[in-house]
A and B are shown apart, each in its own frame.
Chain A
Amino acid sequence: MKEAIRKLLLPAVAAAGLIAGAFTAQAETVLHRGNGAEPETLDPQKSTGVPEANIQYELFEGLTTYSPDGKVVPGVAEKWEVSDDGLTYTFHLRDSKWSNGDPVTAGDFVYTLRRLVDPATASDYAYIIDDIAGAYDIRNGTQKDLTKLGAEAVDDHTLKITLAHPTPYFLGLLRHASVLPVNEKSIKAHPDDWTKPGNLVSNGAYTLTEWTPQASLTMAKNPNYYGADKVKIDKLIYYPTEDLSEEFKRFRAGELDVTYDTPSDQMKYVEANLKDQFQNSPYLGTYYYVINLTKEPLGKQRDLREALALAIDRETLVDKITQAGELPAYSWVPPGLHGYDQQFVDFKSLDKKARLAKAAALLLKNGYTPLNPLKVDILYNTSENHKKIAVAIQSMWKAIGVQATITNQEWKVYLGTRHDKQYQVARAAWIGDYEDPTTFLTMFLSDAGDQNDAGYNNPDYDKLVKDSAKETDPAKRMKMLEQAEDIFLKDLPIIPIYHYTTKHMISPKLVGWEPNVLDYHLARDMSFKE
């Protein structure tokens, strides 16, 4: 009887073993990545967020692209020349193909750039290439002729871009997700559905194979990619992970190889147990409190703004509240920008005691006493993190005798309150779009509209920032921008709190994920250890 069963089972067992063996021999390597949120769109010209960009960089490749450590490296453009006046860029394109087999041509890039500024596309990011000649007039509708854009296909392999003014960071800008090339033929064939699996034609290392909104998005290696033989990971599955603590659990359960973020409340646990799998590195962003300069008394009295700035103990805040290795911020432009000397607020050199003493003295000087305290309201939008910080700052301000209240608003209401300048002090954050100080400094120009929600207006500052755009000498230009930030920090329309860091959990098996300030990591440069 036993024997019979064994005979019966044996072939089955052997077959199962064979199948298993076959699978391990050519096992697909799959990267499971937590991607924060469901992408709003895969259309590069219509998207705005980081989760979208993370996917788009896998699918599409621009003229220039990222090295693993974040440097600008040749992408579809193999090499380029820049004219002496810095206004004309000539790109020479390598032989490469779209996933449908068509060649990638200079015309594709012209199409893409025109599509970005075309008012009919209604791209949020149309202004990102305002530096290109004609772009501004086209996107605001004064120039209806798209061909007036300074982008021209000399031949299939040569693309000439003319700028309105010298733009030293232009090559970096060309990596922005909104200028990733799209395939005209596929867009014409499926105007509303070209981003769906089966329709989407891409030129990057991966192609879109499956997409279940709110569950997962799957990409497979693109055999037509020019560097396909160097791409090691066969399949990418990106998951929207809105709940950070659940994402963290999924990582620990082995369901994810990389997380989008790590909850700051879990830092103690991470430090104790998963230190080797945690990657914490500077990010091009600043968390700050913006002050409404159109409201009294803070608007007119710089002393009061300084007192508030002095009283915030950034080191304690970062150490005890945010806990993720953020850098205490004493400047507006974050560190890590090549060629730019960081500027700091004057009181950075004072120790904690001296700062508090100075803050108290400033308040007293302006007539604020315990009987007549300065009253401040802090506005923030719903989020655990913002709340914790506001509560901590409220108590730090209380220590110098400032009576602070905290107001929480739902996201869109909060945005409205901020942009209508109905607040007194509001939490805010800014992440740079490209590696240049202007991505921070231009938003506080007096004519920057609602973006300048402090209502900051200093002609000296405006002049320096605007003149820097015309300066062709990169070193001189940086000097001008440094001077501008120095003026800005002396005026204190904002209180810098900390510079962001990225907080990823990364599987020890994953190789090739290197930290960089823009925090883009392309799977084509990664692999798995055995």
Chain B
Amino acid sequence: MLHYFLKRLGGAIPTLFIIITGSFFMIRLAPGGPFDRERVVPPDIMKNLLKAYHLDEPLWQQFVRYLEGLAHGDLGPSFKYKDFTVAQLIAQGFPTSLTLGTIAMIAALSIGLTLGVWAALRQNSAVDYTAMGTSMLGIAIPNFVIAPMLTLVFGLILGWLPVGGWGHPTNYVLPVVALCLPQIAAISRLTRASMIEVLGSNFVRTARAKGMPERITITRHAIRAALLPVVSYLGPAIAQIITGSVVVEQIFGIPGIGRYFVQSSLNRDYTMVMGVTIFYGALVIFCNLIADLLYGVLDPKVRYD
């Protein structure tokens, strides 16, 4: 397993390199540049700006320059937030997104798995329908509706929690709720489906026939096998949730990095786009690797080759 792990880690470098190359040239094909504004910059000033950021060089030269910087861990300056480098902005925002995302994911996992298993054990009963119906609402109502509803009800009408802002523990509550609802829906529904399948499979029937206590059958064997599709889903889902959400961050005023994924593209902040792309790419590769390793833990039949 360790051998497999190291091999995959080694394989991450060429993968990342392709991501970097592809993205670097792709984003330059899009119309518009970082310094285009409604108030047009005169051509000579535009020349100065492009020169200051080396955007006047041939594209391949810029690419080489970028790779050189990257080799030294330098992601370059942000074209939009000129007082900061891309690395500084990511380093300042990521802890916030990571904390929020982790709390939201833990909440979503505990609630989602419980609901899913519970619904599966009482398949097609009122409990099942209620649990699945409610959890589905979490994904049916988009977060750009949930979040303003939460601030309206809990921030303004009831006044229990702050509407926005960052720094106090109470600032975490509403964003976590908004972030975890869609995850609960996905996790509980995937769990229910695979749990039902596992409960009907031979090894659970055998275990039951042998007189193994139901609780042990379920917790030791059934859930373990049923987690497989959930784990497949969780790899990219975790990478996504710990890198924040632009909607949630803008509505609650949270200094995370989720907004950079969208804003940097809209602003044509090339270095920032590259920075978050590489960062996210590395996270996705890592999370998917962990997920693949978990397959072997959950189902001994899965082999690494």
Residues of A whose CB lies within 8 Å of any CB of B are 38, 40-43, 46-48, 119-124, 126-127, 139-141, 193, 195-196, 212-216, 239-243, 245-246, 249-250, 252-253, 255, 410-413, 415-416, 419, 428-430, 449-451, 453
The residue that A124 contacts in the complex, of B49, B148, B159, B162, with Cβ under 8 A, is B49
3 A-B pairs with least C-beta separation: A412-B32, A122-B52, A215-B255
A240 touches B253 (CB 8 A): yes
Contacts of A250 in B (CB 8 A): 163-165, 253
CA distance A122 to B44 in the complex (A): 10
For chain B, residues 244 to 286, give those with C-beta under 8 angstroms from any C-beta of chain A. 249-256, 259, 266-268
CA distance A451 to B30 in the complex (A): 21
A245 touches B148 (CB 8 A): yes
CA distance A193 to B83 in the complex (A): 7
B166, B254, B268, most chain A CB atoms within 10 A? B166
The residue that B39 contacts in the complex, of A48, A213, A249, A411, with Cβ under 8 A, is A48
A43 touches B82 (CB 8 A): yes
A249 touches B163 (CB 8 A): yes
CA distance A485 to B250 in the complex (A): 41
A216 touches B52 (CB 8 A): no
The residue that A249 contacts in the complex, of B33, B156, B249, with Cβ under 8 A, is B156
Known: A119-B48, A239-B253. A246 touches B163 (CB 8 A): yes
* B31, closest chain A residue (CB): A416
B38 at interface (Cβ–Cβ under 8 A)?
yes
Contacts of A122 in B (CB 8 A): 45, 48-49, 51-53
B213 at interface (Cβ–Cβ under 8 A)?
no
B259 touches A253 (CB 8 A): no
Give 17 A-B contacts (CB < 8 Å), ordered by A residue. Answer: A46-B82, A119-B51, A120-B48, A124-B37, A140-B45, A193-B83, A212-B255, A213-B93, A216-B166, A239-B253, A242-B250, A243-B250, A246-B251, A253-B162, A255-B165, A419-B36, A419-B40
CA distance A35 to B267 in the complex (A): 19
CA distance A38 to B44 in the complex (A): 28
User: Do most interface residues of chain A lie in helix, strand or loop, or is the interface mixed?
Assistant: loop
B15 at interface (Cβ–Cβ under 8 A)?
no
The residue that A139 contacts in the complex, of B48, B53, B84, with Cβ under 8 A, is B48
Contacts of A126 in B (CB 8 A): 45, 48
* B164, closest chain A residue (CB): A250
Residues of B whose CB lies within 8 Å of any CB of A are 30-33, 35-45, 47-49, 51-53, 80-84, 89, 92-93, 148, 151-152, 155-156, 159, 162-167, 249-256, 259, 266-268
A43 touches B83 (CB 8 A): yes
The residue that A410 contacts in the complex, of B42, B151, B266, with Cβ under 8 A, is B266
Contacts of A430 in B (CB 8 A): 38-39
* B36, closest chain A residue (CB): A415
CA distance A62 to B103 in the complex (A): 48
CA distance A43 to B159 in the complex (A): 38
B152 touches A38 (CB 8 A): no
Contacts of A140 in B (CB 8 A): 44-45
Minimum distance in angstroms from B304 CB to a CB of chain A = 41
Minimum distance in angstroms from B175 CB to a CB of chain A = 12
Minimum distance in angstroms from A451 CB to a CB of chain B = 4
CA distance A250 to B164 in the complex (A): 7
* B259, closest chain A residue (CB): A214
Contacts of B256 in A (CB 8 A): 214
Contacts of B159 in A (CB 8 A): 253
CA distance A154 to B268 in the complex (A): 44
A415 touches B38 (CB 8 A): yes
Known: A195-B83, A250-B165. A139 touches B44 (CB 8 A): yes
The residue that B255 contacts in the complex, of A195, A214, A253, with Cβ under 8 A, is A214
Minimum distance in angstroms from B225 CB to a CB of chain A = 43
B45 touches A123 (CB 8 A): yes
Contacts of A240 in B (CB 8 A): 253
A249 touches B152 (CB 8 A): yes
B40 touches A124 (CB 8 A): no
Contacts of B48 in A (CB 8 A): 119-123, 126, 139, 141
B148 touches A127 (CB 8 A): no
Minimum distance in angstroms from B95 CB to a CB of chain A = 11
CA distance A239 to B164 in the complex (A): 10
Minimum distance in angstroms from B260 CB to a CB of chain A = 9
A249 touches B89 (CB 8 A): no
Contacts of A253 in B (CB 8 A): 155-156, 159, 162-163
A38, A122, A240, most chain B CB atoms within 10 A? A122
Minimum distance in angstroms from B294 CB to a CB of chain A = 34
The residue that B37 contacts in the complex, of A48, A121, A139, A249, with Cβ under 8 A, is A48
Minimum distance in angstroms from A193 CB to a CB of chain B = 8
Having A214-B254, A215-B167, A253-B156, one finds 6 other A-B pairs with CB under 8 Å, namely A122-B52, A241-B253, A246-B164, A253-B155, A449-B42, A453-B40
CA distance A245 to B149 in the complex (A): 11
A212 touches B82 (CB 8 A): no
The residue that A120 contacts in the complex, of B44, B52, B53, with Cβ under 8 A, is B52
Minimum distance in angstroms from B180 CB to a CB of chain A = 20
Known: A253-B156, A253-B159. A428 touches B164 (CB 8 A): no
CA distance A140 to B48 in the complex (A): 8
Minimum distance in angstroms from B58 CB to a CB of chain A = 20
A215 touches B43 (CB 8 A): no
* A242, closest chain B residue (CB): B250
